[in-house]
């Protein structure tokens, strides 16, 4: 018998899935307020999309993708992140032809063959937002404000905004020269992947998870010191905007992100334990890289599991479960049909109602109603049907009220709305 899910995956049930849905509901509501539209892209894409989008020398592509050939021998990859698929959809459906900006949000599963640990899974969930069509740092600020709003609503106080600029391709050329000079001093000590990256894409050496490599790059030159005028101005404007609005941040040259598409601004919200809750940045070249007409873009992805971990640690008091409002107990087989009619009416009236379908004794049914914290209980037997009256018991107080069956829905509604 197979009773264990694959390593790095988990089942979602009970309180945990309710909490995830609650977080999603809050994020969705916020996107609505910011007038951002939802998009859902497939769980898998052509592998080529990620090779070109995420970058061939990234950890994600080199070590973590779930790639396989389908039955027609096409190379397919389960999506490791949400941006590349969203950009593909933006181009496929000519969303750029609409009035810009295009503002999209998504909830997606993402698959990465990583070493599982707290907050790191092989299948995880992301809430992401992507803005297309704005080259102004105001777009970054709008995303940061949305994230702040979301963290506030979730009552997550321990999350600091870290920002950095990694410049554009012109800055990168200059920076790469200096970085390679620095890396070459310890060339032999780096892992084989990094030795190759030094030649192909030196910036990626900075986010290698290998302990020796990360130790060796601690004093590496900073991208922010090699920005051209335009990138410098962009970063300055961003900082001014954040200062003027009163959003606190730290400039953190260690934030270089692990994906290749970023240009200029990169940012993360990190908690005091060094845990990255979400990350993103500008990616002005990705659309052209994937074959579209150049169009500036910026976005972020937030790991839902990491948020849930914090909420659980904080013993969040988010209202995740609406209690059962009425439990209708059935006394005797003859009451069953009527009981089901009443239950059906109550539910149609929007009242969360449960009844017995295990043919339990009335005593067992009431014990169960207690266990599920039902707000009101009713027992329906032949007597109640003949008199067209039931006793409604308020479980908190034990108080019982006789109610005519014709007025039951109104009565319950008034009680639960008070």
**Residues that bind ligand HAM in the complex, under the rule CB under 6 A:** 81-83, 112, 114, 119-121, 124, 126, 128, 130, 258-259, 276-281, 299-303, 305-306
Shorter beta-carbon distance to ligand HAM: residue 11 or 333? 11
Report the phi/psi class of residue 359: left, alpha or beta, with left for phi > 0 and alpha for psi in -120 to 50. left
Burial degree of 191 (CB within 10 A; 0-12, 13-18, 19+): middle
Question: Is the dihedral angle over the CA atoms 53, 58, 61, 62 positive or is it negative?
Answer: positive
Give the span between the Cα atoms of 400 and 393, in whole angstroms. 4
Minimal distance, residue 259 CB to ligand HAM, in Å: 6
Rounded to a whole number of angstroms, the minimum distance from the CB of residue 46 to ligand HAM is 17
Write the DSSP symbol of residue 322: P
CB closer to ligand HAM, 119 vs 381: 119
Least distance from C-beta 262 to ligand HAM, angstroms?
7
Nearer residue to ligand HAM within complex by CB, 278 or 392:
278
Q: Which residue is nearest to ligand HAM (CB)?
A: 303
- 356, 330 Cβ separation under 8 angstroms: yes
Q: How far is the CB of 359 from ligand HAM (least distance, A)?
A: 45
Q: Based on CB atoms, which residue is closest to ligand HAM, 80 or 329?
A: 80
Q: In the complex with ligand HAM, which residue's Cβ is closer, 10 or 176?
A: 10
Minimum distance from residue 373 beta carbon to ligand HAM (Å): 33
Distance CA 135, CA 296 (A): 5
Q: Which is nearer to ligand HAM, 277 or 403 (CB)?
A: 277
Give the nearest distance from C-beta 118 to ligand HAM in angstroms. 10
Crossing angle of the two packed helices 137-153 and 229-245, in degrees rounded to 10: 40
Asked if residue 53 lies in contact with residue 297, where contact means CB atoms within 8 angstroms, the answer is no
List strands edge to edge, sheet with 67-69.
Answer: 44-46, 75-78, 67-69
Among 289, 223, 283, smallest CA distance to 256 is for: 223
Nearer to ligand HAM, 120 or 389 (CB): 120
Which candidate, 394, 406, 391, places its Cα nearest to that of 342?
A: 406
Nearer of residues 87 and 403 to ligand HAM, judged by Cβ: 87
Residue 186: CB minimum distance to ligand HAM, A: 27
DSSP for 66-108, written as a single string:
-EEE-TT--EEEE-S-SHHHHHHHHHHTTGGGSSSPEEEEEEE
Instruction: Report the nearest approach of ligand HAM to the CB of residue 50 (Å).
Output: 11
Closest distance of CB 274 from ligand HAM, Å: 12
Which two tokens mark 201?
Answer: 């894409």
Question: What does the alpha-carbon distance between residue 125 and residue 108 come to, in Å, rounded to a whole number?
Answer: 6
Q: What are the C-alpha distances in Å from 365 to residues 58, 357, 391?
A: 58, 10, 16
Q: Which is nearer to ligand HAM, 172 or 257 (CB)?
A: 257
């Amino acid at each position: 018998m197979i009773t264990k899910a694959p390593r790095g995956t988990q089942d979602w049930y009970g309180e945990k899935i309710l909490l995830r849905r609650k977080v999603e509901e809050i994020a969705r509501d916020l996107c609505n307020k910011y007038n951002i539209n939802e998009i859902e892209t497939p769980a898998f894409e052509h592998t080529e999309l990620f090779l070109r989008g995420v970058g061939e020398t990234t950890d994600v592509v080199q070590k973590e993708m779930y790639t396989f050939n389908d039955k027609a021998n096409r190379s397919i990859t389960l999506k490791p992140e949400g941006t590349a698929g969203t950009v593909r959809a933006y181009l496929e459906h000519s969303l750029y032809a609409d009035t810009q900006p295009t503002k999209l949000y998504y909830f997606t599963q993402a698959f990465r063959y990583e070493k599982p640990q707290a907050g790191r899974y092989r299948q995880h969930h992301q809430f992401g937002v992507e803005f297309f069509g704005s080259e102004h740092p105001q777009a970054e600020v709008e995303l940061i404000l949305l994230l702040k709003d979301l963290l506030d609503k979730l009552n997550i106080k321990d999350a600091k905004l870290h920002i950095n600029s990694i410049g554009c391709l012109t800055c990168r050329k200059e920076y790469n020269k200096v970085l390679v000079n620095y890396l070459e001093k310890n060339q032999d000590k780096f892992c084989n992947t990094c030795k190759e990256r030094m030649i192909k894409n030196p910036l990626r050496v900075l986010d290698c998870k290998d302990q020796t490599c990360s130790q060796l790059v601690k004093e590496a030159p900073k991208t922010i010191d090699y920005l051209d005028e335009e990138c410098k101005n962009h970063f300055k404007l961003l900082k001014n905007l954040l200062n003027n609005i009163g959003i606190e941040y730290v400039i953190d040259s260690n934030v270089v992100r692990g994906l290749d598409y970023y240009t200029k601004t990169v940012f993360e919200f990190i908690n005091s334990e060094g845990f990255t809750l979400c990350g993103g940045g500008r990616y002005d070249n990705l659309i052209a890289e994937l074959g579209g007409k150049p169009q500036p873009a910026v976005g972020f992805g937030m790991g839902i599991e990491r948020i849930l971990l914090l909420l659980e640690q904080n013993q969040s008091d988010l209202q995740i479960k609406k209690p059962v409002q009425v439990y209708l107990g059935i006394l005797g087989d003859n009451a069953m049909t009527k009981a089901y009619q009443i239950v059906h009416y109550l539910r149609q009236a929007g009242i969360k109602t449960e009844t017995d379908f295990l043919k339990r004794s009335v005593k067992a049914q009431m014990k169960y109603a207690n266990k599920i914290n039902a707000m009101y209980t009713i027992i329906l037997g032949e007597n109640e049907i003949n008199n067209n009256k039931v006793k409604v018991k308020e479980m908190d107080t034990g108080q019982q009220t006789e109610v005519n069956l014709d007025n039951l829905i109104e009565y319950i509604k008034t009680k639960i709305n008070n």
